[in-house]
Each structure stands twice: as C-alpha cells, then as structure tokens.
Amino acid sequence: MYLSREEEAIYQGEKGETLRRMMEILVALGDSYGAEKLVPVRSVQIAGVSYKNIGQAGLEWISDLRGTVAVPSILNPAGMDLCRWKEMGIDEDFAEKQQQVIDAYRKLGVAIDCTCTPYQIYDSLAGPGDHLAWSESSAVSYANSVIGARTNREGGPSALAAALVGKTALYGYHLDENRRPTHRIEVEGDLRGSDYGALGFLVGGMVRDGVPFFRLPGLQAQPSRKDLKALGASMAASGSVALYYVEDVTPAPPSLGEEERICLGRKDIDEVYAAHPSEGVRAVALGCPHCSATELERIARLLEGRKVKKEMWVCTARKTAEQNPHLVRIIEESGARVYCDTCMVVSPASERLGKIMVNSGKALAYLPGLAGVKVGLGSLEECIDLALGRR
Amino acid sequence: MKIKCHRVASGRASGPALVSGQAISFLGNVNPETGVVVDPAHELFGESIAGKVLVFPGGKGSTVGSYVIYQLQKRGLAPAAMINLISEPIVAVGAVISGIPLVDRVGEEVLRIKSGTIVDVDADRELVQF
C-alpha cells in the first residue's frame, strides 16, 4: 500500500507509540483488502462501547491508549442509560465497567454521544460523497444508501485507528466498483411503517452481503427517512447489507446491469408478521434504531393522557431527548420510559423482559440471539396498543 | 530453512511452534485467563498457546477476538509470534494492538512444521526461519 511521507513517518513511530500502532492497524487492514492508499475521513463512529460486547479485554485496550482524535468522533450505543441505569435493572458492577469504557473514550477526545443514529443529531458528520469510518451497521447502511457517503462497516480498533489518524484505507464501499447493485428486488403493493423493517428482514436473509436495488412501484407515498432507516437497519441485521438503493428515492447506483431478480409481495411481508405473533408479550420496546424527534412525537401523541400496563421502553439518543423535553415528559407520564445512550439490543437489561414486542426488523433479528428472549413484530400502533392493554 | 513472508504486525520473536490446520476464533476457542484452547472441537484442545509461535491458516468468528489477543498479551499468555497463510482482520488487528509479530503469505508447507520445532519470526525483515 502506498503511504505518503507523512504517513510513513507515523508508521515508523515518529509521532509516538499510539499513533504508530494505529497506523499499523490501518496498513494491516489496507494490505489484507488490497487498498491502494489511505483516504481522509470526515467523521468516525466507534464500535466497541457496550461492556456486554467488549468485556474486560476491550476495556483494557481502550484504557491503555494515549492521544486525541483527529476528526469528529462519536460512539455506538452503550449497554445502559448512562444516567438511569439503576432503573433499567443494571447491576453496579456492570455500570462501573461501562462507565470506565465511556471515560476511556472521553480521554481520547471522543464525543460521548452513544447512538446508532449519528445523522439524526448532527448534520455536520456526513454529506454526499464523503469518506467516513462508521461502525454501527444501520448507521453504515444509512450513510452509504440515504446520504450517499462512503464507509465500510468498521470494527472497534479500526474505527478508533481512523479517528486518531483521521484516515482510513481505501477499499470496499469507498470504491465505485463495490457499490454496484447485485440484486434487483421488485415489491408489489404498498408499504407502511413497520413493513419496511419486515421487508428488510426478508431481503437481508436472501441477499446476505449483497447490494440490493429496490423497485417499489405500488407505493402510495414516498418512503420517509424513518422508513429507509428501518429498511436498511433490518437488512444489516438479518444479512450484512451495508448499501442499498431505492429507485427514484435514494442516490442512484454508479451503474445497473444484469442483477439477480427477486419478486416479493404483500403475502411475503405478512408472513414475517405471522411468524412473530404478539401472544405472551410482556414488554414493548421501540427505538431500534434510535427514535428521531418525529418518531418521539408520534409515540407521545399515541400515549398522551393514557397509562401503559406493560413495561415499555422508548430508546433514543440523549441529544434527541434533550432537544424534545415536552415529548419525553408526555411519554414518561404514561409510565413508559425514555432510555438514552442504549437500546434493547445492546443492553443486558432486556434479558429480564421476557417476550418483547417490537416494530423493528433489526430488533427482531438480534434479540433472540443476543438477549435470549422471544420477539413479536407489529406496527408502532399495535405495539402501543399492546402496552396500553388494548389488545 | 528460510521462508519469505509478508509483514502484518511488526517485531521479531522465536519460540516452539504450535501448528494447526484449523482456523482459530480467539473469542470462544481460547480462555483469556489461561491461554489454553478450551474448545473440545478444536484440534489444539487443551494446548497452551502462551509463548508459542502459533501457526494456523487464519482467524474466524467475532471481532472481539482482537481484544482477547490483547488481554492474553497483558497477562503474559499470548503467543510469542504468529504465522498465517492469509491473515484476516480479527487476528491482524489483534496482533497489531498487542505488539505480537505476525506474518502471512507463506506456503502451506508451514502447516507441516512439527509442533515443538523452534521457529524464528522476523516480521520486519519478512523472514521465517526454522
């Protein structure tokens, strides 16, 4: 791999041991994927935050690093709400370890925003054509597909290396040749709300790490940003899709060719719901990926003046909650809880919830394996009706 | 015997070879507190990788495996060096962050090195000797 004179100097250790190691990570990955060179990144989103995932080994590594990030960098969700962890049922030992992980990142100059939706809280992190080093799979999918930026799905060390050096190796989704569609997905009929998550759940399992190009001729209304967020998130969970296209909605692909064709319809989507019924649900969890202000408003309107009968979580970024205190108040007055910095997928607290009702294809894909719980899938309205004891 | 190789993580070390034809998932296959292979399905089951020159085709499994290599190193239980046919990101990143010499792009003959043979891995000069 080609290195500029400045990069070579870092690689040889002239800027200190931490940067030398970080550069060595970028070069090792670049070499193994056949990258020609490094490219500057506009922002970094770092994986390896939840203590449930990284454990003692990860905590020790991050704590031993010295330095300051070179570009704006934020974090993936943590294993708990950093303020209200006790209420979630998190034990003291876990909370202490989780706090140590956060403190270690803070020392490196990383902004302590723990979210899978960086694009909902900052406009300045990503624009069309920007190279990024993001980690969380749904954020990667959104950045590549909806924003038109370019990022691979980074692991914890490679994201942190990109943050400290300010660059990443040029391979994978940074290059046009890897951004061409592999599958053409035709969907008959209309799609609404959680249908996008159900569709993504199906398609991710079919195309795995491919690049699907959707044609949706039957839509009554253009998909919203939240619909695209849900579609991408679930394909990244049931498969490992990091880039997709929707004809006339997202930025267009570099070219189209003879992709494999898959036709789906209402029946296929209804089967996803039917396979994950609401019987026996003990809790409701919304906000996977993290709720936007618009979604908080919708939830608040449905809960206003009512009381929930089941434990209900609404997960969002701390900034989104802080910017919408009136919505948070309405939701909390119903007895539901607005938890920040975390979500049902990465927090060990969801293990005690029993069967959980969700409106997210991503949560549907991950919760059984990661938290060992059963999951029901329904629309936002069905989820809230269940929480209110109306079903 | 001298073999040319490709440097993934810098440094030089030598030690007795521990050779496996099977990929290793450091998360799950190896106990980070003992350095012993604990997966009964793995052909190195029961072996300690501490201080060895670990020769294997490459890594697999969770990316948390990189951190496990680091944890082993901090406890003095990591391999002295590693040789892969082709390194994938989990082992490559783990070796780099831990300062363990790692080389790859060697021929399959390295998998025929007898365990216990003293092997010298010089990643900086891209040379394996035994």
Output the DSSP codes for A223-234. --HHHHHHHHHH
Q: CA-CA distance, A37 to A171, in Å (whole number)?
A: 9
**Higher-pLDDT residue of A80, B65:** A80
Is residue A285 domain-shared with residue A331, that is, in the same domain?
A: yes
Question: Quick check: A58 and B32 CB within 8 A?
Answer: no
Give just the sign of the alpha carbon dihedral A218, A220, A222, A224.
negative
Number of folded domains in chain A?
Answer: 3
The whole-number average pLDDT for the span A49-74 is 92
The whole-number average pLDDT for the span A176-188 is 97
Q: Mean pLDDT of all residues in chain A?
A: 96
pLDDT value, residue B14: 98
Q: CA-CA distance, A234 to A363, in Å (whole number)?
A: 8
Is residue A58 domain-shared with residue A144, that is, in the same domain?
A: yes
Domain containing A134: what range? Answer: 5-176
Q: CA-CA distance, A345 to A387, in Å (whole number)?
A: 19
The minimum CA-CA distance between A125 and chain B, rounded to whole Å, is: 25
Centre a 10 Å sphere on the Cβ of residue A83 and count the other Cβ atoms it contains. 11
pLDDT value, residue A74: 98
Indicate which CATH number applies to the domain containing A65: 3.30.499.10
Looking at the predicted structure, is the pLDDT value of residue A86 above 80?
yes
pLDDT in tens, A189-213: 999 999 999 999 999 999 988 999 9
pLDDT value, residue B70: 93
A167-169 and A245-246 beta bridge pairing:
unpaired
Catalytic residues of B: 62
Question: Quick check: A156 and B92 CB within 8 A?
Answer: no
pLDDT value, residue B61: 76
The minimum CA-CA distance between A285 and chain B, rounded to whole Å, is: 26
Using alpha carbons, list the distances in angstroms from residue A301 to A293, A330, A334, B20: 12, 8, 11, 60
Is residue A267 domain-shared with residue A287, that is, in the same domain?
A: no
Q: Quote the DSSP letter at residue B104.
A: E
pLDDT in tens, A294-318: 999 999 999 999 999 999 999 999 9
**CA A280 from centre of chain:** 28
Buried b / exposed e along A122-134 (16+ C-beta atoms within 10 A): beebbeeebbbbb
Residue where a domain stops, chosen among A273, A288, A321: A273
Question: Quick check: A28 and B10 CB within 8 A?
Answer: no
pLDDT band at A371 (very low <50, low <70, confident <90, very high): confident
pLDDT band at A234 (very low <50, low <70, confident <90, very high): very high
Is residue A185 domain-shared with residue A232, that is, in the same domain?
A: yes
- Interfacial A residues in 141-180 facing B (CB < 8 Å): 155-158
Closest-CA residue to A196 (of A289, A327, A122, A320): A289
Hunting for tokens 């002239």 — which residue is that? A14
- Interfacial A residues in 44-83 facing B (CB < 8 Å): 48, 53-58, 60-61
Q: CA-CA distance, A50 to A104, in Å (whole number)?
A: 13
Indicate which CATH number applies to the domain containing B99: 3.50.30.10
Question: Quick check: B93 and A55 CB within 8 A?
Answer: no
Q: What are phi and psi of A294, to 5 degrees?
A: -60, -40
Is residue A41 domain-shared with residue A124, that is, in the same domain?
A: yes
Domain containing B66: what range? Answer: 2-129
The whole-number average pLDDT for the span A222-232 is 97
The number of C-beta contacts closer than 8 angstroms across A and B is: 67
For the sheet containing A283-291, what is the strand order? A337-340, A311-316, A283-291, A356-358, A375-377
Contacts of A74 (CB under 8 A, 6+ apart): A43, A44, A45, A46, A110, A111, A113, A114, A115, A118, A122, A125
Residue A61: list chain B partners with CB under 8 A.
Answer: 67, 70-71, 97
Is residue A30 domain-shared with residue A126, that is, in the same domain?
A: yes
Q: Is A54 left (phi over 0), alpha (psi -120 to 50) or beta?
A: alpha
pLDDT value, residue A370: 82
Is residue A254 domain-shared with residue A222, that is, in the same domain?
A: yes
Is residue A152 domain-shared with residue A67, that is, in the same domain?
A: yes
Is B112 touching A (CB cutoff 8 A)? no
Q: CA-CA distance, B118 to B97, in Å (whole number)?
A: 25
Q: CA-CA distance, B44 to B29, in Å (whole number)?
A: 9
The whole-number average pLDDT for the span B38-58 is 95
The whole-number average pLDDT for the span B37-45 is 93
The whole-number average pLDDT for the span A72-91 is 97
Which of A24, A27, A53 would you mutate first to test chain B, the one with the most B CBs within 10 A? A24
Is residue A166 domain-shared with residue A110, that is, in the same domain?
A: yes
Question: Quick check: A29 and B89 CB within 8 A?
Answer: yes
Nearest CA in chain B to A60: B71
